[in-house]
């Protein structure tokens, strides 16, 4: 897994501090070419790992990568699922049956439908969960996806329900069908790590908010340190700037020095901001003796 990962929030109007900035970004990135330009800037700056949702525009980006692999050499998708709005919109636009055909994998349609029916009629959670993963992964066919993430809305719901087996089901399916590791996005890392251990997932990949002001860090900074000291994990730090609440240099210096942080995830809208963030990570990594991959 790359040290530096690039996210997609800015492309779809997500900003946790400013609705106006989110609206402006959403308008700017209505064009697929505008998104592609930023992704190319990230790739050339050294942030070729792209952690993304399964938004329809991501499917179009995947098409471009397949069509011109030389241009995208070193660019890797790290999909996160599910993307609930996509399903709701598709049903509204296409109807249930055509929406099903759109999202299901090409092979084994009858088998997939039967799996779904079994899941509904027999309350077979494993069949339903794997069915949904396969539907989400259809857009990445033929592309490497070394880690597949469960979005925090589901990860944290499973935490609340205490359904540990769901984590094992997801992890096993990612490995068997896609040759990928499972990753888990969460708003509550200290609570998640013991549950993943109970599910038999050792040294898990977990993405969570990590920043100097403890913005959206359930359990606080000390809680994260204690949890990861007790149960090692490969932590991806997101929201390191606290949605703009911390200056970049101060934010990056602090997060690089958190011993449990394996990777840093950030989003940016301009080449200058991308290059500046990557350079800061390299600078403070170098001070710790870490050599860029």
E-strand ranges in 20-104 read 49-52, 76-81
**pLDDT of 121:** 42
| CA dist., res. 154 & res. 80, Å (int) | 11
Q: What confidence tens digit (pLDDT) does each residue in 116-138 have? A: 555 544 446 677 788 889 989 99
**pLDDT of 131:** 84
How do beta strands 181-185 and 261-266 pair? unpaired
Residues 6+ apart with CB under 8 A from 148: 78, 79, 80, 81, 133, 137, 174, 178, 180, 181, 182, 183
**pLDDT of 28:** 79
**pLDDT of 83:** 77
Q: What confidence tens digit (pLDDT) does each residue in 159-175 have? A: 998 999 999 999 999 99
Residues 6+ apart with CB under 8 A from 124: 118
Extract the residue ranges of the chain whose pLDDT is less than 50.
Answer: 16, 108-110, 120-123
Of 226, 292, 293, the residue nearest 258 (C-alpha): 226
Of 133, 90, 142, the residue nearest 115 (C-alpha): 133
| CA dist., res. 235 & res. 237, Å (int) | 6
**pLDDT of 24:** 62
| Sign of the four-CA dihedral 189, 193, 199, 205 | positive
Q: For the chain, which domains are there?
A: 4-86+144-287 (3.20.20.100)
**pLDDT of 205:** 98
**pLDDT of 20:** 60
| CA dist., res. 72 & res. 168, Å (int) | 33
């Amino acid at each position: 897994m790359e040290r530096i990962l690039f996210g997609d929030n800015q492309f779809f109007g997500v900003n946790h501090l400013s609705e106006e900035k989110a609206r402006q970004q959403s308008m700017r990135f209505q064009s697929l070419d505008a998104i592609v330009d930023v992704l190319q800037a990230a790739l050339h700056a050294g942030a070729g790992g792209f952690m993304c949702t399964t938004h329809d525009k991501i499917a179009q980006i995947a098409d471009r990568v397949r069509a011109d692999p030389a241009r995208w050499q070193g660019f890797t998708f790290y999909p996160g699922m599910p993307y609930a709005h996509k399903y709701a919109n598709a049903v509204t636009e296409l109807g249930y049956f055509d929406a099903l055909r759109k999202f299901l994998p090409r092979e084994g349609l009858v088998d997939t439908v039967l799996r779904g029916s079994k899941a509904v009629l027999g309350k077979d959670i494993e069949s339903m969960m794997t069915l949904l993963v396969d539907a989400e992964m259809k857009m990445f066919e033929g592309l490497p996806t070394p880690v597949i993430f469960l979005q925090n809305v589901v990860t944290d719901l499973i935490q609340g329900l205490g359904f540990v087996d769901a984590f094992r089901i997801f992890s096993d399916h990612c490995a068997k069908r896609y040759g990928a590791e499972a990753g888990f996005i969460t708003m509550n890392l200290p609570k998640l790590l013991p549950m993943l251990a109970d599910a038999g997932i050792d040294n898990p990949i977990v993405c969570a908010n990590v920043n100097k002001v403890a913005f959206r860090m359930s359990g606080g900074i000390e809680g994260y340190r204690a949890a990861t000291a007790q149960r090692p994990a490969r932590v991806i730090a997101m929201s390191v700037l606290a949605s703009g609440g911390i200056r970049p240099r101060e934010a990056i210096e602090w997060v690089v020095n958190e011993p449990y942080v394996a990777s840093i995830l950030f989003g940016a809208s301009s080449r200058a901001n991308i290059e500046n963030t990557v350079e800061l990570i390299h600078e403070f990594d170098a001070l710790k003796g870490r050599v860029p991959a």
